């Protein structure tokens, strides 16, 4: 299980995480989706590690169909992005069941930040989120 998480983390580094400033309002082909119940469980785990709280019900969820990530305005291939202006998380289809990707974007939403402060993404929640 640990080796699987490490492999996923390495894949995550290859695709990266986007920020709201380099994406259009929604990525091309984004499809609305209901958050699976496990997402709320993961959300509460991220709240615990971060020491911060957020409103899970206020987040809108989308995914981009297809076998690859989606691109941003800068051309980066992304697995997920949180957009503060919409309070929306968009995931690549392949990443919808990847806890490291989902919780990474959930941490952005909980913190209301698009950057990656090491205090949260490495030190406090590094075992739960891709960093």
Helix (H, G, I), strand (E, B) or coil at 90: strand
pLDDT, position 71 = 80
Q: Into how many domains does the chain fold?
A: 1
pTM of the model: 0.81
| Contact present, 90 and 64 (Cβ < 8 Å) | yes
Taking each helix axis as running N to C, give the angle between helix 2-15 and helix 99-111, from 0 to 180 degrees, rounded to the nearest 10. Answer: 60
Is there a domain that residue 129 lies in?
no
The string of pLDDT tens digits covering residues 65-81 is 999 898 865 677 899 99
pLDDT, position 2 = 38
Is there a domain that residue 131 lies in?
no
pLDDT, position 70 = 87
pLDDT, position 78 = 92
Cβ-count burial 72-111 (b if 16+ within 10 Å, e if not): beeebebbbbbbeeeebbbbbbbbbebbbbbbbbbbbbbb
pLDDT, position 31 = 95
Domain of 33, in residue numbers? 2-124
Give me the CATH number covering residue 60: 3.30.2010
Q: pLDDT averaged over consecutive 10-residue blocks of the chain (131 residues)?
A: 40 47 67 98 98 98 93 78 93 96 98 96 96 77
Is there a domain that residue 114 lies in?
yes
């Amino acid at each position: 299980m640990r080796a699987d998480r490490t492999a996923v983390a390495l894949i995550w580094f290859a695709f990266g995480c986007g920020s709201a400033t380099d994406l259009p309002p929604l990525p091309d082909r984004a499809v609305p989706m209901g958050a699976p119940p496990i997402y709320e469980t993961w959300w509460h785990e991220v709240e615990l590690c971060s020491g911060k709280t957020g409103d899970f019900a206020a987040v809108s969820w989308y995914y981009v169909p297809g076998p690859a990530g989606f691109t941003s305005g800068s051309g980066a291939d992304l697995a997920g992005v949180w957009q503060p202006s919409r309070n929306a998380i968009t995931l690549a289809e392949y990443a919808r069941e990847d806890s490291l990707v989902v919780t990474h974007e959930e941490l952005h939403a909980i913190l209301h930040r698009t950057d990656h402060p090491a205090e949260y993404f490495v030190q406090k929640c590094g075992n739960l989120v891709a960093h």
